[in-house]
C-alpha cells in the first residue's frame, strides 16, 4: 500500500512537471540599453525623489560631504566632473533656514560661475530659487569664506560661458540635451567691502 502511494505521488509530480515544460512561452522583448544619464535619472526618480527614506540618506551623505570639505579646508571633495567645488550657503525661500550645497564652479574674472543644471532635470535646483529670493549668500572656497551677490548671467554672456564650461566639463553638454529648459548660470560676485 505504501509503495503505491509513493508511486502515485511521483507520477503526479512528473505529470505536472511535463505539462509545465510544454506550455507555450511568450516571446521575450529585446533588451534596451539605457545611457548612464538615463540610469541616474531613473534611479534618482525612483529612490531619492519618491522614497522619503532614500531622500534622507542622500541628505545625510550631503551633510557628511560638507563636514569633510570644511574639516579638510576644501582638500576633500574639491573637484567634481572637471570643476572645482565650493560650498554655497543660502537662505531657504520657504523655510528661512540656512542650506549648504556643494557646487562645481569655474571663474570668469573675479566672479565664481555656478551651474543650475540639476543633473539635466526639467526643473531648476532648490538653491537656484533660494538665490533668486535672497541673492546675498556665503560661499566657502577651500578654507576661505566670502560674502557674494548672486545674479543670473545675461543670455549673450551665458552662451560664451557655456562654451567654456563644456570644454572644462563635457558632461554638462549631456545635461543640456536631456532637458527642455535653458540651464541658467549664476555669477557669484564677491563683495568689495570684506
Question: pTM to 2 decimals?
Answer: 0.70
Position 78 confidence tier, pLDDT thresholds 50, 70, 90: confident
Mean pLDDT of the chain: 80
In the numeric block, the cell 543633473 is attached to: 119
pLDDT digits (tens, 9 = 90+) for 5-37: 434 444 444 444 444 444 455 555 555 555 555
Q: What is the pLDDT of residue 192?
A: 74
Label residue 181 by pLDDT band (50, 70, 90): very high
Residue 103 gets the label, from left (phi > 0), alpha (psi -120 to 50) or beta, of: beta
For 140, the grid coordinates are 566657502
Give residue 4's pLDDT.
Answer: 41
Q: How high is the pLDDT of residue 21? A: 45
C-alpha cell at 39: 540610469
Tell me what pLDDT residue 49 has: 52
- Give the C-alpha separation, 103 to 114, whole Å: 7
Predicted confidence at residue 188, as pLDDT, reads 97
Q: Phi/psi at 22 (nearest 5 deg)?
A: -100, 5
Domains of the chain: 77-190 (2.30.110.10)
| Span 135-152, average pLDDT | 95
Per-residue pLDDT tens digits for 33-74: 555 555 555 555 555 555 567 777 888 888 999 999 999 998
CA-CA-CA-CA dihedral for 148, 154, 156, 157, to nearest 10? 0
Amino acid at each position: 500500500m505504501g509503495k503505491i502511494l509513493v508511486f502515485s505521488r511521483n507520477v503526479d509530480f512528473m505529470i505536472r512537471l511535463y505539462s509545465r515544460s510544454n506550455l507555450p512561452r511568450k516571446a521575450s522583448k529585446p533588451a534596451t540599453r539605457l545611457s548612464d544619464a538615463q540610469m541616474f535619472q531613473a534611479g534618482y526618480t525612483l529612490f531619492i525623489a519618491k522614497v522619503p527614506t532614500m531622500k534622507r540618506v542622500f541628505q545625510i551623505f550631503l551633510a557628511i560631504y560638507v563636514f569633510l570639505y570644511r574639516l579638510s579646508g576644501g582638500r576633500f571633495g574639491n573637484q567634481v566632473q572637471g570643476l572645482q567645488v565650493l560650498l554655497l550657503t543660502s537662505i531657504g525661500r520657504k523655510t528661512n533656514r540656512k542650506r549648504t550645497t556643494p557646487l562645481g564652479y569655474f571663474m570668469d574674472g573675479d566672479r565664481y560661475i555656478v551651474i543650475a543644471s540639476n543633473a539635466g532635470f526639467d526643473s531648476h535646483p532648490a538653491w537656484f530659487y533660494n538665490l533668486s529670493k535672497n541673492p546675498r549668500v556665503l560661499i566657502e572656497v577651500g578654507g576661505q569664506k566670502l560674502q557674494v551677490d548672486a545674479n543670473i548671467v545675461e543670455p549673450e554672456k551665458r552662451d560664451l560661458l557655456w562654451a567654456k564650461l563644456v570644454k572644462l566639463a563635457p558632461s554638462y553638454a549631456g545635461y543640456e540635451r536631456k532637458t527642455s529648459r535653458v540651464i541658467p548660470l549664476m555669477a557669484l560676485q564677491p563683495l568689495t567691502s570684506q
